[in-house]
Amino acid sequence: MAKFSKKRGKSSPAISTASLPDIIFMLLFFFMMVTVLRDSDLKLQVNTPEATQLTKLDEKSLVNYIYIGRPTTQFQSVYGTSPRIQLGDKISTVDDIPLFLEQHKVKLPEAKRSRITSSLRVDGEVTMGIVQDVKTKLRKSNQLKINYSAGTRTDALD
């Protein structure tokens, strides 16, 4: 019988690192594409009403979010407990809406500016007085596309 002997001094071939930068950039690109960045921290309690027939907004970059609700417990010492308006990352007044709309509008190309929608995320417990004030200010600012945000109702009414 033949005897097998180990060859000494031979090591396994080195792993090629030539494609390593390509792999790293592919992973970086993947995570950049799938990561969702949150625009603002919510300082208001907003429990949107539920509905059965909802339509989804197509381009989220064309949407201004206006939150209306009572401040969360950590902000009640500063802003009180009455309903407030949040534009972006800060609590604002109705008079700040035109500037907020203009700041969003200048970030977009001219061709897309006419398709901007204002989405009102209103707490279900808030009275319609402040909502009507916001709608009036939006109309005066020539922002006529308005959307009400709602959650999905799981049980349909008979």
3-state secondary structure of 151: strand
Per residue in 18-32, pLDDT (tens digit) is: 888 889 999 999 988
CATH of domain 44-151: 3.30.420.270
Q: Are strands 117-122 and 63-71 parallel, antiparallel or unpaired?
A: parallel
Residue 70: the pLDDT is 94
Provide the token pair at 118: 């204002």
- Find, among 111, 100, 99, 95, the residue nearest to 40 by Cα: 100
Is residue 154 within 8 Å of residue 54, measured between CB atoms? no
pLDDT band at 4 (very low <50, low <70, confident <90, very high): low
Domain extents in the chain: 44-151
pLDDT band at 157 (very low <50, low <70, confident <90, very high): low
pTM over 0.85: no
Provide the token pair at 3: 């005897």
Does 158 have pLDDT greater than 60? no
In the predicted model, what is the mean pLDDT of the chain? 87
Per residue in 79-113, pLDDT (tens digit) is: 999 999 999 889 999 999 999 999 999 999 999 99
